[in-house]
Amino acid sequence: MTRPSRTAFLALAGGAAAGLALPSVADARKGLTDADVSKLYEAAKKEGTVTWWTAHYAQSAADKVRDAFKAKYPGIEVQFIRQTAQVIFQRLNQDLKSGVHECDVFASTDESHYTTLKKQNVFAEFVPADIDKVPASLRHLDPDETYQIGALGFVLINYSTKVKPARDWQGLLDPKWKDQVTLGHPAFSGYVGNWVVAMNDKYGWDYFKKLAANNPKIGRSINDTVTDIVGGERQIGAGPDNYSLEKKAAGNPIDVAYPSDGSILITSPVAVLKAAPHPNAARLFMNFYYSKEYSQALLKVYNYPLRTDIAPANGIKLDKIKWYRNKVDRLATGIPEVVAKWRELFNV
């Protein structure tokens, strides 16, 4: 593989990408070499910091990812905020609108954020070295390579180990769960938004009208479901796989059940911003997503590994699970639509 020299690259890219220790995109599409990554690391060390806005997983998982990154690349501080998808999306929009550039790596759980932001031309094209280690169907989510898959997770049934769980999503409508259901909010959480769109498309809005009769408790994050069940406030809900399993492992009375009518697969993308204040550290960090260390760090907190060569924590491989995934175009129209209906129905 031939690469233009750094000087040649800079000349090619003009002033716009000054200071970026990377080959051109055309070459990068073939994947970064080890030498590219070392160069990136050297340049990233000079930047010293990477700023990561993530909704991908719980705080504890983000902690683990940061620790793993810092272990692999000493000398680079990882500053991160973990908030729900819609919150970080809103923050990014706010920044973009006022021309403030803070975020290096944007990691939401709502895939439609990426198509929206891509239209605003705010993402940098970037093909990480080991992108081909992720499941084939999830490689190169964006044909233009402005974002890639960053995390995998499910919305499935979460339940208290004190009860026998519902077998499928319809089971949540059973009147025996009156005052025992807990949900997140589609206007905050990307996971919940995904789930509500999927349920709406599968069973119609009637599903939620019936669910409302069970008087669900509504939090914000998908992880609020876990908290409610762990604390004994509620017994069942539409929750995540990762955080629940982490809490289960810590000794809490919670477990997950894969609904027979399909878990909702959440494919959370990640992207580097074009105007990232730390362009090299940003790419180094995104590149790290596809390393073994990243998948292994996630395993420790029961998140799905991105790489196919690393087995999931619960041993259940992706192709053994019955899942449903929203199309990204449907998410773009669906989430605002269901949020409006949700507000009307639940007054929240």
Partner 1 sequence: MVSGASGSERSRTSASQVPPASGRLDAGALVFVAALAALAVMVLLPLAWLFFTSLQAPESGRLGFGNYATAFTQWIYLSPIVNSLVLATSVATVAVLLGTPLAWLVSRTNLPGRGLLRVAIIAAFVTPPFLGAQAWMLLAAPHSGWLNRAFVALTHAPEGPFNIYSLAGAIFVMASYNIPYTFTFVAGALALMPSEMEDAAAILGSSALRRTLTIVLPLALPAIIAGFIMSFLEAISEFGAPAFILIPARTQVITTQLYLFFQYPPRVEVAAAYAMPLLFVTAALLYVQRRLIGRRRYTMIGTKGARRNLIGLGAWRWPLACAAFGVPFVTVALPYAALLATSLSRAWGRGPVPGNLTLYWYHWAIIDNPETKAAIFHSLTYAFAAATIAVLIAIVIGFAVQRGLVAGGQILSFICMAPYVVPGIILAIGFYAAFSRKPLLLYGTAWMLIVAFATRFLPIAYSSFTAAMQTLSADLEFAARTLGAGRLRSIRTITLPLLRSGILSAWLLVFIPALRELSCAIFLFTPGTAVMSTVIFDFSDAGNFEALSTMGILILAITFAIVFLMYRFLGRSLIEAEAQPA
Interacting residue ranges for partner 1, rule: CB under 8 A: 51-53, 58-60, 63, 77, 79-84, 86-87, 89-90, 93-94, 98-100, 102, 179, 185, 187-188, 217-221, 223-224, 226-228, 230-234, 243, 247, 250-254, 336, 339, 343-344, 346-348
In terms of CB distance, is 185 or 325 closer to partner 1? 185
Reduced DSSP (H G I as helix, E B as strand, rest coil) percent helix, strand, coil of the chain, to 5: 45, 15, 40
Shortest Å distance, C-beta 93 to partner 1: 6
Shortest Å distance, C-beta 212 to partner 1: 10
In terms of CB distance, is 80 or 208 closer to partner 1? 80
Residues 6 or more apart whose Cβ sits within 8 Å of residue 190: 55, 84, 85, 86, 108, 109, 110, 113, 266, 268
> Is the Cβ–Cβ distance between 290 and 306 less than 8 Å?
yes
Residues 6 or more apart whose Cβ sits within 8 Å of residue 193: 85, 86, 110, 186, 187, 331, 334, 335, 338, 339
In terms of CB distance, is 30 or 70 closer to partner 1? 70
Q: Beta-carbon neighbour count of residue 348 at 10 Å?
A: 10
Shortest Å distance, C-beta 347 to partner 1: 5
Shortest Å distance, C-beta 310 to partner 1: 25
In terms of CB distance, is 127 or 331 closer to partner 1? 331
In terms of CB distance, is 226 or 272 closer to partner 1? 226
Shortest Å distance, C-beta 7 to partner 1: 33
| Strand 148-160, strand 236-240: pairing | antiparallel
Shortest Å distance, C-beta 345 to partner 1: 10
Nearest to 191 by CA among 266, 272, 252: 266
In terms of CB distance, is 209 or 343 closer to partner 1? 343
Q: Which two tokens stand for residue 194?
A: 């995904």
Shortest Å distance, C-beta 137 to partner 1: 27
| Look-up of token digits 């994947």 | 31
Cα dist. 109→7, 74, 274 in Å? 37, 28, 20
DSSP 86-125: HHHHHHHHHHHHTT----SEEE-S-HHHHHHHHHTT-BPP
In terms of CB distance, is 132 or 255 closer to partner 1? 255
Shortest Å distance, C-beta 154 to partner 1: 17
The residue type found at 259 is: P
In terms of CB distance, is 87 or 138 closer to partner 1? 87
